Chain A
Amino acid sequence: MRAEMLSQQQSLPVGVDRTSREPISLEQALAAPERLAPIAEMTLAERSAMVRARWAAGEWTDLDVCGESVDADRAVRELEARTPLGMLLLELGEGAVEMVLEDAR
């Protein structure tokens, strides 16, 4: 299961290149870890784009956050509007990336 999951994750973005600021996939990050900029060094726009790309690739599950139902479309809207809910969803997306990287290493 874990190997299968990692295989599916290979092409999904996990950050940006330190120099070019282009998205970097898990496969690229594992091949050249030095290229990967830490999330803390990424701009909000870069982080949002990364998370949105992952959501679009299926890394999403419908949520209920404090009584608010959130599907993928709403998640994108909240993220674009940079609402508190959007920022929370961003945090979750980044958390997923952290977990994937930890697991892959």
Chain B
Amino acid sequence: MSLMYSALLPRNGNPWIQAPSIPAYDFGTGDFTLVAMVATTQGGPVLYRMANDSAEPNAGFMLLVTSTGIITFVTSDGTGGQGATTVNATNVLDGGCHTLAAIRRGTSLQLVLDGTPLECQVASDGTPPFDVTVDLPLIIGGQHVQWGEAGTFDGTLMNVGVWNRALEPDELTAVGFGRIDTADPSLCGAWTLDQTDEDSSTYGNTAMLNGSATYTPCIACEWTTGANGYAYCTMTNAPVPARPSGARLVEVRTIDVEPGTPGLAMAIMATPVLPAFPVGTIVRVIDPVGNRYDRDVNQENLFVATHDGQPWAMMVVDPQPGTWTVEIDASEQTWFSLQLQTIPSQDIVETIDGALAPLYGPGGPAEAEGWLDLFAHAAVAALAGAAVVSLVLFSGGTLAPAVVAGLAAFTSISLAESALALEQLDHHDLDAAYDDVAGGAGFLIAADPVVLIDANVPVDVATREGYRRRKEVLYPTVTMSPFNRRRTDLVGREVTRKNVQSALLSSSTGYISACGHGLPKYLTGWYVTGTDGPLQEILTVGKYDPREVRGKIIHFLACWCGSKEPSSLGRDMVANGALAFFGYKNPFILAKDFADVFFDCDIAIDKALLAGRSCQEAYDEAYAKYSEEIETLFPINRPAAVSLRKNRDSLVAPTTNEAYGNPSAHLVRGIATGPQRTATRRDDAPEALPL
């Protein structure tokens, strides 16, 4: 697919593009198809091969858009004729790009706009089909003699094609976007009008430009619809450095969301492989009731990630039925690709595959070349991600937050990985498919919170030094991790019961990593009052709301909380819905000159989880690091080495006992997932601080 430029055909310049008459256009009484992509507000003749030197049309065919949005397709043998006219005015004059097709199949005429057959009034003067053969040139955007309507098309045209057969609906979808098989023997002419009048069909019938037509850049758009409420569109720009211009490109696309559609996803990327936002681009997403999505939102049914007030990626669960609009305003020199799509209400994989196959074909965009096709890769990948997520969303009656789907919609993975994910989906291996999508991504952005808690009591070596090291090693990792977007830090005097409760209730999923003093029944934070005296309990068995821990992976760098007794805090939190708990069943021991070694071993758990590892893997990595450090320390300091070994053997996790949760739980999508996931949320809970 090449860079799309379209022929600009202003009315006052009276231009048209004329392909010399060749026998290939002599369809006689046979089937044929005319296709063009148009963008106009005034209409005019689109394709014309019809003598018109009197008040009545002569032999030939013509396709016309009237100034009221009516579309007309006429065939005639000079003595009689057949015409199909849309019953109602269409939206073809809205200035956006539309694919228009006119098909004669046997005795019937059909008009199709954007893949949708139009209701037409068909009238005949005589018995169809009529012989349309006539020795006249084929005129694009003009007519031989003006009659009744404008003499030239007022707007832009591209991807014009003519076939001597009736194309099938799937074929119309592809050819409308210039995906034309130029070796197709039924193809009689194909003009991309991509700064060229050349005919890419085997006939090579180069057209000639007449009048003052110019070429203008435009955003390449592709869209299609499928069964089960599936709708898809993409808007892409791939500038050519050799043709710099300061022009702004503006495009408006809409998709219709049917009632019952479970999800709607949108994402825009600056490159096909890295989902950076295309700086300087203005994006507007407007729902059927006029709402705009220009603020970060992370709720159960809506996820919006913005960049400088522009929607960057969004996922809507149960979107408002009706017409959703995306407007884009970008520099001609800005690369971008925007995808907007719904999630089918059922048979997700089959539906998406069926709808996109006409666009991308069985070989997919991998068989083509160029940036636009790379963007197409990303589009398909995003869809695969959305499909995976949607299955997760709607499988087993478990509702996951919209952010999950937003993540996948924002995921750029290769076609092969998409295909693998889809294949696994077809085998109903949801976890594997999801992991493929997430794991194959070069980038993921999540909005699920990570809560870091450090008691950092100044007079206490353990929590003070623990915070110092975590601040050096862990906090930057969390900031850089692609697996979280919101981080809440509670440090020192902020570590109160009230603050901890608020932070934990602000999300139904996520990761909590805390460093404080612990006993089997509770974890402590800052002082109860002032800067002296007892430390306050921030999480105590029997005194916390189960929603604080439900659906989360929890890691406490604290003594005793992982005690083996059944009612210890770690086990109690898992029993109350936490996905997993990491902690220590005994008091941990710091060898003072080697404290950082211990902290680093413990932080290995955080790092592994934040890198998307499962709890099993996080435990294994931490255990391996412990063992390696013990081996290193042993010749240097036996007491330090044996202390570290004691800590290692005191570590509890889902791996060591199922009472500590699910070993396969992980944060790959930036959220905690697992069988105990729930989706409750307190709307009155404060939002965590954005990074």
What bracket does the count of chain A residues touching chain B fall in?
20 to 34
Complex Cα distance, B594 from A4, in Å, reads 20
Pick the residue among B463, B589, B639 that contacts A65 (CB under 8 A). Answer: B589
- Residues from 615 to 671 in B contacting A, C-beta threshold 8 Å: 634-643, 645-646
Chain B, range 525-556, C-beta contacts under 8 Å to A: none
The residue among B595, B638, B645 with the most chain A CB atoms within 10 A of its own CB is B638
Q: Does A64 contact B (CB under 8 A)?
A: yes
Chain B residue contacts of A67, Cβ below 8 A: 460-463, 517
Q: A96 contacts which chain B residues (CB < 8 A)? A: 638-639, 641-642
Q: Decide if A95 touches B646 in the complex (CB within 8 Å).
A: yes
Q: Which of A2, A61, A69 contacts B639 (CB 8 A)?
A: A61
What is the distance, in angstroms, from B659's C-beta to the closest C-beta of chain A?
22
- Give residues 1-17 of A contacting B (CB, 8 Å): 1-2, 4-5
Q: Shortest distance in angstroms between A15's beta carbon and chain B's nearest beta carbon?
A: 15
**B588 in the interface (beta carbon within 8 A):** yes
- CB pair B594–A66 under 8 Å, yes or no, is no
Question: Is A56 part of the binding interface, using a Cβ–Cβ cutoff of 8 Å?
Answer: no
Shortest CB-to-CB span from B454 to chain A, Å, is: 15
Question: Which positions 576-612 of chain B face chain A at CB distance < 8 Å?
Answer: 587-595
User: Number of B interface residues, CB 8 Å?
Assistant: 28
Alpha-carbon gap, A2 to B641, bound state (A): 13
How many Å lie between the Cα of A103 and that of B636 in the bound state? 13
Residues of A within 8 A of B591 (CB): 61-63
B474 adjacent to chain A (CB < 8 Å):
no
Residues of B within 8 A of A59 (CB): 638-639
Residue in B closest to A98 when the chains form the complex, CB atoms = B642
- A92-B643 contact, Cβ under 8 Å, with A62-B592, A63-B591: yes
Q: Which chain B positions have C-beta within 8 A of A62?
A: 591-593
Question: Quick check: is A53 within 8 A (CB to CB) of the other chain?
Answer: no
Question: Scoring A residues 39 to 75 as 1 if CB is less than 8 Å from chain B, else 0, what string do you get?
Answer: 0000000000000000000011111111101000000
A64-B645 in contact (CB<8A): no
A 78-95 to B, binary, CB cutoff 8 A, 1 in contact else 0: 000000000010011101
Taken together as a complex, chains A and B put the C-alpha atoms of A93 and B593 apart, in Å, by 17
- Are A99 and B641 touching (Cβ within 8 A)? yes
Rounded to whole Å, the gap between the CB of A70 and the closest CB of chain B is 9
User: In the complex, how many angstroms separate the beta carbon of A26 from the nearest chain B beta carbon?
Assistant: 12
Interface centre among A1, A2, A66, A92 (most CB of B within 10 A): A66
A30 interface residue (CB < 8 Å to B):
no
A37 at the interface (CB under 8 A from B): no
Please determine whether A88 and B645 come into contact, CB atoms closer than 8 angstroms: no
CA distance A59 to B593 in the complex (A): 14
The answer, yes or no, to whether B433 is at the interface (CB within 8 Å) is no
Is B559 interfacial (CB 8 A cutoff)? Answer: yes
Closest residue of chain A to B590 (Cβ to Cβ) is A64
Say how far B565's CB is from chain A's closest CB, in angstroms: 16
Inter-subunit contact B588/A66 (CB<8 Å): yes
Beyond A66-B587, A67-B462, A69-B461, whether A60 also contacts B639 by CB under 8 A is yes
Tell me the complex Cα distance, A64–B463, Å.
Answer: 11
Residues in A with CB closer than 8 Å to B638 are 59, 96, 99-100
CB contact under 8 A between A66 and B642, given known A61-B593, A92-B589, A99-B634: no
Distance between Cα atoms of A92 and B640 in the complex (Å): 10
Most buried by B among A2, A62, A96, A99: A96
Given the contacts A62-B592, A64-B592, A99 and B645 also touching, CB distance less than 8 Å: yes
Nearest-CB residue, chain B, relative to A5? B635
- Let me know if A2 and B590 touch, CB within 8 A: no
Cα-based distance from A35 to B639 in the complex (angstroms): 25
> What would 25 A/B residue contacts be, using CB atoms closer than 8 Å?
A1-B636, A2-B635, A5-B635, A59-B638, A61-B593, A61-B594, A61-B637, A61-B639, A62-B593, A63-B589, A63-B591, A64-B589, A64-B590, A66-B559, A66-B560, A66-B588, A67-B460, A67-B463, A91-B646, A92-B646, A93-B642, A95-B642, A96-B642, A100-B638, A103-B634
By Cβ-Cβ distance, the 8 closest A-B pairs, closest first, are A66-B587, A64-B590, A95-B642, A61-B639, A1-B635, A96-B638, A5-B635, A66-B559
